[in-house]
Amino acid sequence: MNFTVSGHHVSVTPAIRDYVLSKLDRVGRHFDHVIDVSVILSVEKLVHKAEVNVHVRGKDIFVETIDENMYAAIDTLADKLDRQVQKYKERAYNHAHEPLKRQAVN
């Protein structure tokens, strides 16, 4: 799984990078087929924005959050992403088709 953390109008410190990686580690525990994770942190005036784009087999999952605190935005982002990944996993693995029931012909 490839992690990319970048900042727009904000410098990504090692502390923020480690915090993002620790929060997004939860996604890797729930779903093993994550190929690439790209996180963009940005600041505009007093608004902190966190975006993540997760590439999984067959789909890209995009989540964004806005908050007054960067750490709170990252927390909310991790929660939303976790719900989205679980929803994708449930849809992907609930396609087990039951065998057709044969009707008795008299």
Q: Which domains does the chain have, with CATH numbers?
A: 2-93 (3.30.160.100)
Q: Residues 6 or more apart from 16 whose CB is under 8 A from it?
A: 5, 41, 70, 74
pTM: 0.80
Alpha-carbon span 86 to 103, nearest angstrom: 37
Residue with structure tokens 């890209």?
A: 60
The DSSP letter of residue 92 is H
Alpha-carbon span 23 to 76, nearest angstrom: 10
Helix (H) or strand (E) holding 42: strand 34-44
Band (88; pLDDT cuts 50, 70, 90): confident
pLDDT in tens, 63-83: 999 999 999 999 999 999 999
Side chain identity at 56, as an amino acid letter?
V
Which of 1-15, 28-42, 75-89 has the lowest average pLDDT? Answer: 28-42
